[in-house]
């Protein structure tokens, strides 16, 4: 109750400070709690319109307080960066990272198929109230392919397409690395009683053949091969939610029809995955939680240069593995990427020019 009361107090102060032009810092008091105080941009409060004063004694580097917003001048502090560097080499590295992640997950899916316990499905509250829909899973995969095509089109038309491709590759690689670990450490019985699983593998050559087939199909169920044990967490939920997050992140806010339809399709696709009984409800919940927290944390660190510093002990995000990942791939961006677009004609001209250059280099 005390912690909840403290959290509510912090939220009240944060909401009150949101309309104030002065930054808010949270210095730690001797009793271990944090007191909220305004800070000024002037020295010791002199000549500042914000009021208050900065501490007169110098702080240790480890006690540096991060100020992420505000400012006596008013207006936005964090603005889109003008002409962020594309860094095409890092995009290639991100693609390799994504390739390794998807290969790792595909390998563990194939191996985990032989470890599935032969027992009835676990109790699931959703299954008790909703009947199974036979073709729901194929419909969900069609939605995934449509949203993927839509996102690729948006990225190709974006002025900073190399940065967007890089971020998508990093997100996909990280999700597949985590998904491979999750599904292998805890193997659940299949939620679909009549599902015909592929037979066990007999040698390592057959393992790698199946990995290649699964990788080439992007984890989709086309081709008739059904792998059991591919449960925690739902890859289709990760795809549907992640595609939605990237589409609304890099489209103008005035495109309400596009953003709303993307949300409805994503939500409907997740519902179809549940109705198909290819996944338990917990698979959906964990998949949604993991992909949203990864996306929001990654973009928050990338958009706020103040969070790039490791010198403050108040920046607990630098203890996250994501901090090192963002610093490598996004350290030179310097802030939010502006949503600027090129005409389709210029994009096609650039693609043809790149193709001719590649052809001339090979020849």
- What residues act catalytically? 236, 279, 283
Cα distance between residue 109 and residue 155, in whole Å: 30
Cα distance between residue 117 and residue 102, in whole Å: 25
Cα distance between residue 308 and residue 324, in whole Å: 9
87, 164 Cβ separation under 8 angstroms: no
Q: Is 204 helix (H, G, I), strand (E, B) or coil?
A: helix
With tokens 């027992």, the residue in question is 119
Question: CB burial class (10 A; 0-12, 13-18, 19+) of residue 297?
Answer: middle
Q: What Rg, from alpha-carbon coordinates, does the chain have?
A: 25
With tokens 């800070």, the residue in question is 39
183, 108 Cβ separation under 8 angstroms: yes
**28 pairs with which residues across the strands?**
34
337, 84 Cβ separation under 8 angstroms: yes
* Helix residue ranges per DSSP H, the chain: 2-18, 88-112, 125-129, 136-157, 161-185, 204-216, 235-249, 256-276, 281-303, 321-330, 344-362
Cα distance between residue 92 and residue 109, in whole Å: 26
């Amino acid at each position: 109750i005390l912690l909840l009361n403290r959290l509510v107090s912090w939220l009240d102060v944060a909401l009150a400070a949101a309309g104030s032009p002065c930054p808010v810092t949270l210095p730690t008091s001797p009793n271990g709690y944090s007191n909220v105080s305004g800070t000024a941009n002037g020295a010791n409060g002199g000549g500042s319109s914000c009021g208050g004063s900065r501490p007169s004694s110098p702080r240790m580097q480890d006690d540096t307080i991060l100020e992420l917003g505000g400012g006596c001048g008013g207006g936005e502090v964090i603005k889109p960066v003008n002409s962020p560097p594309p860094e095409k080499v890092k995009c290639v590295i991100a693609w390799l990272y994504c390739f390794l992640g998807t290969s790792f997950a595909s390998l563990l899916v194939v191996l985990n198929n032989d470890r599935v316990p032969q027992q009835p499905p676990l109790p699931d509250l959703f299954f008790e109230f909703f009947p199974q829909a036979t073709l729901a899973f194929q419909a969900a995969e069609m939605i995934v392919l449509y949203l993927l095509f839509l996102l690729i089109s948006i990225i190709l038309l974006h002025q900073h397409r190399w940065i967007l491709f890089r971020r998508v590759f990093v997100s996909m690689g990280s999700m597949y690395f985590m998904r491979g670990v999750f599904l292998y450490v805890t193997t659940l019985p299949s939620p679909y009683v009549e599902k015909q699983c592929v037979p066990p593998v007999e040698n390592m050559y057959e393992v790698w053949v199946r990995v290649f087939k699964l990788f080439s199909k992007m984890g989709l169920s086309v081709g008739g091969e059904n792998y059991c044990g591919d449960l925690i967490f739902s890859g289709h939920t990760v795809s549907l939610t992640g595609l939605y997050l990237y589409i609304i992140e890099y489209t103008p806010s005035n495109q309400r029809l596009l953003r709303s339809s993307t949300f409805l399709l994503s939500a409907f696709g997740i519902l179809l995955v549940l109705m198909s009984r290819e996944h338990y409800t917990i698979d959906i919940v964990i998949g949604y939680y993991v992909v949203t927290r990864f996306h929001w944390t990654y973009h928050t660190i990338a958009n706020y240069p103040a969070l790039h510093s490791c010198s403050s002990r108040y920046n607990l995000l630098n203890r996250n593995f994501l901090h090192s990942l963002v610093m490598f791939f996004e350290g030179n961006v310097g802030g939010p990427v502006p949503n600027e677009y090129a005409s389709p004609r210029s994009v096609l001209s650039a693609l043809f020019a790149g193709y001719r250059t590649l052809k001339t280099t090979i020849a």
